[in-house]
Amino acid sequence: MKYLLAVLTPPLYFASRKKWLAFVVTSFLFVLSIFLIMTVVLIPGALIFWSFSSVVAVWDLRKVMMHEHATIIAEKMAEKMAEANKQPKAA
């Protein structure tokens, strides 16, 4: 669901993550692309601006997901190491 939000409406994705600078920049690009779509002649330019804002949002989402995944793995490894240190060593 987060990917759809990031691809279709990047400003709302950044607003939901409380990243206000990215929200302002992607809002500008998104609104500019909407105005260019209205002109019909400049639709290729509109797609470029919309894709820029979407790529930034998806890139940020992927970075956040990778960080969460690394944190989960690190916590599990720490638990395993703590268990290994508690067990008495057999000589």
pLDDT of residue 56: 93
- Give me the mean pLDDT over the 47-76 stretch: 94
Which DSSP helix (H) or strand (E) runs through 18? none
pLDDT confidence of residue 91: 58
pLDDT of residue 2: 87
Distance, CA of 55 to CA of 7 (rounded, Å): 7
13-52 residue pLDDT tens: 999 999 999 999 999 999 999 998 898 888 888 899 899 9
State the pLDDT at residue 90.
62
Domain boundaries, the chain: 2-86
Q: What is the arithmetic mean of pLDDT over 2-18?
A: 92
- Residue among 64, 54, 83, 50 nearest 18 (CA): 64
